Structure 1
Amino acid sequence: MSGLPAAAVPDPGVAGDGDWAAQARLLLEQGDARLARRFDQNDDIDRLVALRARAVDHLIRDAWRRCVPAGAGLSLHAVGGYGRGELFPRSDIDMLVLGEPEAQQANEAAIARLFALLWDAGLPVSHAVRSAAQCTTAAADQTVMTALIESRPLIADAAASAALAEAISPARLWPPREFFIAKREELLARHQRFGDTADNLEPDLKDGPGGLRDLHTLGWMALRAFGVHDLEALVGLGHLGQDEAVALRRERRELARLRYGLHLVAHRPEERLRFDYQKTLAQRLGYADDPESLGVEKMMQRFYRSAGLVRRVSDRLLQRFEEQFDGEAVPVSLGEGFSLRRGYLAADDAGWPHRDVLQVFALFASWAAHREVRGLHSLTARALAEYLPRLPSYEDASPAARERFLGLLRGPRAVETLGRMARLGVLGQWIPAFAQVSGRMQFDLFHVYTVDQHTLMVLRNIALFAGGRADERFSIAHEVWPRLRKPELLLLAGLFHDIAKGRGGDHSELGAVDARVFCQAHLLSDSDTDLVAWLVEQHLRMSVTAQKQDISDSEVIHRFASLVGSRERLDYLYLLTCADIAGTSPKLWNAWKDRLLADLYFATRRALRDGLEHPLPREERLREARESARTLLNVQGLDDATIDRQFAGMPDESFLRFRPEQLAWQAASLTEVEIGDTLVKARRAAPDNDALEVFVYSPDRDGLFAAIVMTLDRKGYGIHRARVLDAPNAAIFDTFEVLPADTYADGDPEALAFALREVLAGDLQRLRPSRRVMPRQLRHFRFAPRIDFNDSAGGRRTRLSLVAPDRPGLLADVAQVLRSQHLRVHDARIATFGERAEDQFQITDEHDQPLPEASREALREALSACLDPQ
């Protein structure tokens, strides 16, 4: 019956404790193996955790009888999760020895022997030894109280169990209302530790938002307040709907199955679903890859949806508990059929919403109009949840309903409204394609949110732009936003930009089709429809152009401006791109990307203003850049003769690639050196930003680029962009944009400049890349590197493009290979997207000639060995 070996306890004839522990360990291993096989056969998860608890019960009782004499005046109780009668493969086993102080003291050696024996048997036990009075004192701490509240007798008579129950009774401590408030605050604080979202790349199944701990917390509250040991008992008390109880039971079993499987594949008490285990667990649970999704992505989507549903139902139940303790307040009418009840928005009509989507949209409109609303009243939230399966999609809804939805987008706090609709399941019903990406993750390090959460993050960023206040992270967004003709079109583009992910094919093209159908159904004009569809289709183009192409090249700007075609489209696309990048990962947006996109925006705007058929000639661009830099230098007190002398030592290409402010900084710095000297300067990119800009001017020599890169790496800095130019008088004119990548990077520009000067003054050939430990997460995203060559700069150079798994010191290793092949680097574009490094280099041989085929193949072989030693 149990799935355990017939001998549930060791042979009583075993003599020594060591033999008993060895036999008990063997029995546990055999039992766990049999339960694991039943798990793989999809046996009932509740039964499996109960069977494991029962097997451990037998061993503990046998050990107790072996160690503690009868009549000792002690009793043994299971507490915590073990007290619930469920035990996962690697869970801790919490116990309480209950007895008066004199009994504790008389049996101290026996108790110590008991727990040593259990540890030797392989049971991860933790225990407390207390009297009933000591339990009362200890339970003043709510965590102790929580462990004791679900106690279960293992070796105890009725009197001992009654004494423990009396010791922690509400009459002595933690009356129901106080206990509820404490546990609710604990739950909210725990959620905040995880960013108040379950949609993390490596979620915690137990403690994370929507995890098993949330369900346990509800159970503890129900037990304290109503004396029920099962949430489903709340149905009869009117606090939980039958549908809600079914949902909680289903999702609890889903989460429990994930946790049981995680313990099996991790072989340790692991609660966090790390990358180390995700693929293995997905395979064990039967999730298979297909052309549209990886098995691991399907598993994670199922988890995210479970956690989201647990959170929605638990929010409602917490509110009902609050009402139970504090009572209903007098409603405050808000008009149009809604009122505030203790700060929660409630429908006045008991029959709301009468199967009418217009009533649902009226609810969200009222919510948006009143900032004082704390949330949705539990009864109204439940009525909404019950109506959800019958809520029509926009294609099946009336024209009036579609117009009302557009009214929400055009109304106050539109982004908050969309977020609420998404969280409550309404948005997924109205736009079925959004439901398909709900909880959908992408198995990489670039996208740190699920698709639906990423979409909401993008919309929140758009709301920041609309705030009218400058945000230092987005230097010009607040200037561009007022130019938008219809801001709701940008919201629609943000809503649809990733909506087709996971269907196969190009998600931008598929999403554009969805967006067009939606806009037409909502009777948007042809021009508005075209704009939204174009934004969705092209939403990656500006990011790719800025990060992977040389935007100082007039041809690149001309091509991009030709694609955009108008200032209006440029404004919308710029804001969507900023919101999209910043909404992909908190670490992805930085000062360099902000400046890069702003530079591309202004260059494109100028190209559109001047006319695409008349691009600005190179000489005129050079003249304008010099005059802009000259103006800044004049303000600093430099005369024209000095400025001309500094400009003569700078490459023409620098005036095409750098902004006037950078040119002025470089020119002013050059006044400190003579021809043939080495200059290293570093400065902060912005006053309140960790990004640094490093400028190196030095006589050219082989290995210089590699030495700079290796030094930056050794000092803990990651290179985001490198401009490597040849200056007059056989000098190099290099600029590096760097960010601290390790904790030991102190962010001090002067210290970094000093370290670089010391290195460049020595023997460059002796410098070697530092060896670094691969971060745990990166180890799970390995792929074959791709190395490509083609001609560039009119055939005068060779462009090396490489895509490889990122790792610490990667660029330093690549630079070492280039040095060992006696190659020169003339430009470098460095980009990292999660676990992918995508870098480009303009290179020549030591005679400044492009690489012949033989040299290319030799470099390919050397790079392959460096990038993928296996």
Structure 2
Amino acid sequence: MSTPTTDDAAWAATARTALAETDARLARRFDAGRPADRLVAMRARAVDRWVRAAWQRCIPEDAPLALFAVGGYGRGELFPHSDIDLLVLAEPDAQRHFEPALARLFALLWDAGLQASHAVRSSAQCTEAAADQTVLTALIEARALQADARQVAALAEAIAPTKVWPAHAYFQAKCEEQRQRHARFGDTSDNLEPNLKDGPGGLRDLHLLGWLALRSFGVHALDRLIELGRLGWDEAAALERERRALCQLRYGLHLVAGRREERLRFDYQKALAARMGYRDDGQALAVEQMMQGFYRSAAVVRRIGDRLLQRFEEHFAGTLTVTPIDSHFERRGGYLAARQPGWLEQDAAHVFALFAAWASDPDMRGLHSQTARELAQALPQIPAYTQAPQALRDAFMALLRGPQPVRTLERMARAGVLGRWIPAFQQVSGRMQFDLFHVFTVDQHTLAVLRNLESFASGQADPRFSTAHQVWPSLRKPELLLLAGLFHDIGKGRGGDHSELGAQDARAFCQAHGLSEADTDLVEWLVRNHLLMSLTAQKQDITDPEVIQRFARAVADRQRLDHLYLLTCADIAGTSPKLWNSWKDRLLADLHAATRLALRRGLGQPVAVAERVAENRAAARALLLAEGYEERVIEALFARMPEENFLRSRPDQIAWQATALHAAPAGSNVVAARAMPGRDGRDGLDVLVHMPDRDGLFAAIVITLDRLGMSVLQARALDGPNGTIFDTFHVLPAEQRQAPEPALLAATLARALEGDLEQLRPARRSQPTHLRHFRVPTQLEFTDLPGGTRIDLICTDRSGLLADVAHVLRAQGLRVHDARIATFGERAEDLLLVSDSNNQPLSPARRDALRAALLAVLDGDRR
């Protein structure tokens, strides 16, 4: 029996040093451009030598034990910080007898720096453990490190399909496992911080294909499926190419992270891109180039992987049911297939005919794998639209005007057809933008926008969009809006204004496809101005009749307005799941409604302020009368409000404010909150504060709201009668799942405002570490206006930003009249209207003092 010796520690130290030298040598080779798939094999062989040496040191030569590498180590792949999985095959008596020796072995490996996960099992125990398909998956890749032929055969017999997990059952289990795994990542690889190993299109998907090939056909390499007729040589070559690319990224990620890391986090992306030799150029940052390469690799793995899984499915299904559709197409097991091999490659028009046939049957499961492969082979035959005959251009427009146009565009994009037809789309395929605002690649964002537009066409109300489904029927030619959505971001990554570049592309496309000049003008205008409505709603005061009049002049007609409104809703909602909320929905719906009214009145007849005030007052009065309030009570409540409130607030807000005033005893403070009508608190709250004015009151309100976990989206500070304030806020919970009850928020805010306001200080909290990778240079601009000075502030967004700014304004003795808060990922763009205590613009000296104080907070090390 082997027992620990005094020189085990020395041996382990020698092994640790040697392995570290091996890792350093391999890292240098990686930096010199050596393929990572060779380096992982070299590292596995180096580890093999030390594991075998440790085994021989601890285990007698004649011991009835066998040692296997399993999992990724069994596959012969060890990345810089991968652990090693080991199986000791031994019958129960041998396990008990050699337990001390095995304990010594595993301790020695750990002391040598090898993080070994191990299992000691008999053949029967292997069969029992393999009832868990994840255990079986590790065991089927077992590689003998110290075993004879009999022991190798015993392990193979223990996990044979006749004993555990027949091939078909294993296939079904692994497909379900993949589905659940993909769901954890939103079923997309186009995330800002994708997982190289487990994410969709990652290395795990390639491993899955290998496991299924081994279990189903007994082959240890995917290229062996070629001779079995299950995989094309071109498909095998593509999978191997992308496997190497993914290996290169994963190897480099381990080196940059200095630990086992599978997620391409912001912390590592720039460093990894630099280490892999990417360099910034005029078209894209180095990190964006690297990430585009990953996204394209993942897309290929998914596309070919889906085909191969379908072939496995057909293998187990046996004879397929084939149903002719017409002379060119048929159904094979529920999939669309071209009847004649090679037909797709004969004419690019056949490719468009394929997508038309697919769109005509919504129950089709997809393309048959053979047809999907032939479609990939036919891609080089598809010309860019600029080189295509008119008949082919007409065929494309027929797809846009036919059934399921958005689904068709998605399918064409994923198959690579759309990129061939519109080369500019290929340029943005897989193109990420290194910021927190755009959480999808440009092409995936574009497809998300198109899906949002498609949802408007359903005619069904969507709780996310209050009026979009009502506006959609006004569109004369919906395909024009789809074209605008397709081209709105296509100019990104080429330098210059992407809206202008996209507009030029859109015009050229529309003219080439025979659209009328009027239709072409509309699409071009929408692409060029697709940000106009968003910026107007979020950065200007849309209660101001002059703002509405300027926007109406820019839009000019109802057709443009309706198209732009729908495109803006779809664009914002398709940028990030967190970006769209009921506040933006209401802003855009209000801007659309107000502009539509302005256009109806005529651009030569702008709405006067007095008329707007009278309209809102009358509408609010009607709401209160419907609630049973008497005229004299309503007038008394209105008298407690500033006149400007009837200009700046919606009728439903005014009516709610009146009920809040009515519920409080005369002369008492009023602090009230409500969820937006038809919503819950997670979609935002309206907050009203009406009380005697005090120095620092606005800052105290904002600081308290911040401490309550609420982000202020808009604040308006008005002077009420008799020295009071009439401040209104729209706030959104920073954490959607932790929205407070409106009554509780109001009560907490009221208590805070009754105390010593000077004691209220902004909360000190740590900020997300990833923000350090997205620093936005602080910009401050001051503009004098009647009654105050407007501050345009651009800086890095963070929790408590407005609370800090308000605290500075309080310290400077300034009054706040209006605040509009807009965030775009890591970028905050805030507008504040402030004045001195006499409601006058700031003097040059006070501007300089305010600038210095704000910069000290925004750019300092306070947090």
- 1:588-627 matches, within 5 Å, as 588-627=579-618
Corresponding position of 1:700: 693
Corresponding position of 2:568: 577
Q: CA deviation at 1:172?
A: 1.2
Q: Deviations over 1:460-487 (max 9, x none)?
A: 0001000010111110101100000000
1:566 matched to 2:557: yes
Match of 2:338 among 334, 347, 353: 347
RMSD: 1.3
Q: CA deviation at 1:267?
A: 0.7
Corresponding position of 1:780: 773
Residue identity in the other structure for 2:782: F
CA contact (8 A) 1:783 1:805 kept: yes
- 1:164-203 matches, within 5 Å, as 164-203=155-194
Corresponding position of 2:634: 643
Q: CA deviation at 1:849?
A: 2.1
> 2-side partners of 1:572 and 1:325: how far apart?
50
- 1:44-443 matches, within 5 Å, as 44-443=35-434
1:740 matched to 2:733: yes
> 2-side partners of 1:456 and 1:161: how far apart?
51
Moved more, 707-716 or 261-270: 707-716
CA contact (8 A) 2:345 2:377 kept: no
> 2-side partners of 1:24 and 1:814: how far apart?
58
Gaps of 5+ in 1: 1-12
Residue 144 of structure 2: SS of its match in structure 1?
A: strand
Moved more, 708-717 or 61-70: 61-70
Q: CA deviation at 1:674?
A: 5.4
Moved more, 638-647 or 750-759: 638-647
Corresponding position of 1:6: none
Corresponding position of 1:4: none
Q: Deviations over 1:242-285 (max 9, x none)?
A: 11111101000000000000000001110000001000000101
Moved more, 632-641 or 448-457: 632-641
- TM-score (normalised: structure 1): 0.97
Q: CA deviation at 1:672?
A: 3.0
Q: CA deviation at 1:133?
A: 0.7
Match of 2:823 among 816, 829, 832: 832
Residue identity in the other structure for 1:153: A
CA contact (8 A) 1:666 1:695 kept: yes
Moved more, 288-297 or 753-762: 288-297
Residue identity in the other structure for 1:233: R
> 1-side partners of 2:832 and 2:60: how far apart?
78
> 2-side partners of 1:91 and 1:557: how far apart?
60
CA contact (8 A) 1:21 1:120 kept: yes
Residue identity in the other structure for 1:718: S
> 1-side partners of 2:735 and 2:363: how far apart?
43
Corresponding position of 2:492: 501
CA contact (8 A) 1:14 1:20 kept: no
Residue 791 of structure 2: SS of its match in structure 1?
A: strand
Residue identity in the other structure for 1:697: H
1:752 matched to 2:709: no
> 2-side partners of 1:813 and 1:170: how far apart?
65
> 2-side partners of 1:760 and 1:662: how far apart?
23
Gaps of 5+ in 2: none
> 2-side partners of 1:103 and 1:639: how far apart?
94
Flag the 1:801–1:676 CA change in 2: closer, same or farther, 3 A: farther
Match of 2:721 among 716, 725, 728: 728
CA contact (8 A) 1:509 1:537 kept: yes
Q: Deviations over 1:795-826 (max 9, x none)?
A: x2011111111112111111111111111111
Flag the 1:192–1:36 CA change in 2: closer, same or farther, 3 A: same
Residue 798 of structure 1: SS of its match in structure 2?
A: strand
> 2-side partners of 1:127 and 1:782: how far apart?
45
Q: CA deviation at 1:366?
A: 1.1
CA contact (8 A) 2:776 2:826 kept: no
Match of 1:537 among 528, 550, 553: 528
Q: CA deviation at 1:857?
A: 1.1
Residue 681 of structure 1: SS of its match in structure 2?
A: strand
1:710 matched to 2:703: yes
Corresponding position of 2:759: 766
Q: CA deviation at 1:14?
A: 9.6
Match of 1:800 among 784, 791, 810: 791
> 2-side partners of 1:128 and 1:272: how far apart?
28
Residue 831 of structure 1: SS of its match in structure 2?
A: strand
> 2-side partners of 1:789 and 1:21: how far apart?
67
Q: CA deviation at 1:235?
A: 1.2
Q: CA deviation at 1:336?
A: 4.7
Residue identity in the other structure for 2:486: L
> 2-side partners of 1:238 and 1:176: how far apart?
18
Match of 1:862 among 839, 853, 858: 853
Corresponding position of 1:5: none
> 2-side partners of 1:776 and 1:347: how far apart?
52
CA contact (8 A) 1:801 1:841 kept: yes
- 1:5-16 matches, within 5 Å, as 15-16=6-7
Residue identity in the other structure for 2:760: L
Residue 719 of structure 2: SS of its match in structure 1?
A: strand
Flag the 1:746–1:623 CA change in 2: closer, same or farther, 3 A: closer
> 1-side partners of 2:325 and 2:688: how far apart?
62
> 2-side partners of 1:653 and 1:14: how far apart?
89
1:453 matched to 2:444: yes
> 2-side partners of 1:121 and 1:791: how far apart?
70
Q: Deviations over 1:773-808 (max 9, x none)?
A: 11132232113211111112x2x2011111111112
CA contact (8 A) 1:328 1:341 kept: no
Residue identity in the other structure for 1:58: R
Residue 782 of structure 1: SS of its match in structure 2?
A: coil
Residue identity in the other structure for 1:31: T
Residue identity in the other structure for 2:276: L
Residue identity in the other structure for 1:363: L
Q: Deviations over 1:579-620 (max 9, x none)?
A: 000000001110000000011001111111111111122111
Corresponding position of 1:8: none
Q: CA deviation at 1:733?
A: 1.2
CA contact (8 A) 2:507 2:524 kept: yes
Q: Deviations over 1:350-397 (max 9, x none)?
A: 221143121111111111111110010011001100011221111111
CA contact (8 A) 2:818 2:832 kept: yes
Corresponding position of 2:461: 470
Q: Deviations over 1:56-81 (max 9, x none)?
A: 11111111112222222111100000
Of all paired residues, the percent bearing the same amino acid is 64
Match of 1:654 among 631, 635, 645: 645
Residue 480 of structure 1: SS of its match in structure 2?
A: helix
